[in-house]
Homo-oligomer: A and B are copies of this chain.
Amino acid sequence: MTAALSREGTMQSGRPLSRLLQRLEGVMEFRPADIAALETLPINIRNLAAGEWLAREGDVPSRCHLLLAGYLCRMRIIEGGQRQILAFLVPGDFADLQTLHLERLDHGLAALGPVTVGAIDHGALRQLMAQGPHWTHVLWRENLLEAARMREAIVNIGQRHALARVAHLICGLTMRLRAVGLARDFSFPAPWTQSDLADAAGISTVHANRVLQDLRRWGMVDHHNRTVRIHDWPALCKAADFTPDHLHLTRDPIDVDGPTDLSRSFTPPREERRAARD
């Protein structure tokens, strides 16, 4: 079991783009030519040790990094030393794609556990996008998916209790891992500490510990031996108030077999004044 897990996590060095493509193919069609164009990108593979920085706040990278194996996190440290983890990244995610259009990095990127990344020059990506609107769309969309996850993080931290926050983080990670072929059995390596989880959920380390104990006691999920094992997925989702909508993992309605009925696509509900306030 553990062996299977670690095999799952291993990057097939011949196909560094496989995680990304697997996820993308879940939501859109690709012509062989599109994939060929992507696969000609020169990728520089690099390993990071646990805790190592991939990039720091203020950096002006000239390359984008695709996470191939392991986990990265985005983080910011504020005056007073507190750290907020903004996001966990999973294989197939771009780490600093936004530097194509927003040069200065406004947050740091660090490895949670050992990590493999592939570096692609900005120039190569720009060339890829210049070949047609398709890859522009895909990469832009990648940035938007990230923004959607951030919105979810705001809701999570702003409105939910500690237990739901932590549960929600785990649910989101699970779904995203499954979208790239990992965590098939609802368990996955989790090299981060309770303190990392706490900083992602906006709670104290001590409280994160107590919440994890609760989740374990209720038989929902267990985090031991650097491994998360989900025992009751429906219950966990319920406790987390989790819905996968914000991940946009299914084909957007407008993409499914031709154009949808557009008459209901935009509804200006004039009659509902004030409703927004309550």
Contact = CB atoms under 8 A, between A and B. Distances in A.
Number of copies: 2
Which residue, A46, A84, A274, has most C-beta atoms of chain B within 10 A? A84
A107 interface: yes
Contact of A253 (B60, B136, B157): B60
Contacts of A107: 151
Interface stretch (A17-25, A216-224, A262-270): A262-270
A269 B158 contact: no
Interface of A: 46, 49-56, 59-63, 74-76, 78-80, 82-84, 86, 98, 100-104, 106-108, 110-111, 126, 130, 133, 136-137, 140-141, 143-148, 150-151, 153-155, 157-160, 193, 195-196, 199, 201-202, 241, 245-246, 248, 252-255, 260, 262, 265-270, 272-277
Interface of chain A, main secondary structure: mixed
A278 to B, nearest CB: 8
21 contacts: A51-B275, A51-B276, A52-B276, A53-B268, A54-B268, A60-B252, A60-B266, A62-B262, A74-B151, A83-B159, A84-B155, A86-B155, A102-B145, A103-B255, A104-B248, A108-B276, A140-B140, A150-B154, A154-B157, A157-B202, A159-B202
